Chains A and B, each alone.
Chain A
Amino acid sequence: EPEVTQTPSHQVTQMGQEVILRCVPISNHLYFYWYRQILGQKVEFLVSFYNNEISEKSEIFDDQFSVERPDGSNFTLKIRSTKLEDSAMYFCASSEWSDQETQYFGPGTRLLVL
């Protein structure tokens, strides 16, 4: 069964540093998403991406965040200047259609900002 993959699985960084989280969505999917989950809290939507542009974003997704599809397979989330409160699990997801039924999630990247 096709899977969404994410790298790295864990990332430790210093406050103020830039991080790039990488995702390889399922190959025939057209819609891509990033979510985050702070430890012990609920999964929160960050952004959705379709046709090389952002289709929807939440209030969390401010100017320090950006997304990119640099080639035909990768989908990245960049955090420009990390803060302590950015420590969380970041999940990438993809779907063939823009519905809520079948978003396939990756295993996540655990980001720790010190």
Chain B
Amino acid sequence: LAKTTQPISMDSYEGQEVNITCSHNNIATNDYITWYQQFPSQGPRFIIQGYKTKVTNEVASLFIPADRKSSTLSLPRVSLSDTAVYYCLVGDNSGYALNFGKGTSLLVTP
């Protein structure tokens, strides 16, 4: 399994764009990059998945450079309700288990 490294915590003000970068230097050819979000006292929730370049949905964008050794989750114009832990997961979608790391704890303040 590719090891991932993310900042432990980030702070932002409401309305700002937040970019959370994840390093995965030993990502394999068949691996995808998936981000989950977890609010306090709730289960994780899928946000976005990508393989290369850029993926965008109604919640976030995911930027993946050509070497795929890192990825950046971009949250546009965050609100207080975006305060959560964000997890970067790397895997080939062939297994069943989601392997969560410690994630990045994002705090959004007014």
CB distance from B105 to the nearest CB of A (A): 11
A56-B97, A98-B96, A100-B93 given as contacts; is B102 within 8 A of A93 (CB)?
no
Question: Would you call B101 an interface residue if the criterion is a C-beta within 8 Å of the partner chain's C-beta atoms?
Answer: yes
Pick from A55, A93, A100: contact of B91, CB under 8 Å: A100
Contact with A along B74-110 (1 / 0, CB 8 A): 0000000000000101010101111111110000000
> Which chain B positions have C-beta within 8 A of A101?
32, 34, 46, 49, 93
> Which chain A positions have C-beta within 8 A of B32?
100-101
From 34 to 72 in chain B, residues with beta carbon under 8 angstroms from any chain A beta carbon are 34, 38, 41-46, 49
**Contact-size category for A:** 20 to 34
Question: Would you call A53 an interface residue if the criterion is a C-beta within 8 Å of the partner chain's C-beta atoms?
Answer: no
> Which chain A positions have C-beta within 8 A of B91?
100
CB distance from B91 to the nearest CB of A (A): 5
Contact with B along A44-74 (1 / 0, CB 8 A): 1100101000011010000000000000000
The answer to whether A103 touches B98 (Cβ under 8 A) is yes
> Which chain A positions have C-beta within 8 A of B98?
33, 35, 43, 45, 100, 103
CB distance from A54 to the nearest CB of B (A): 10
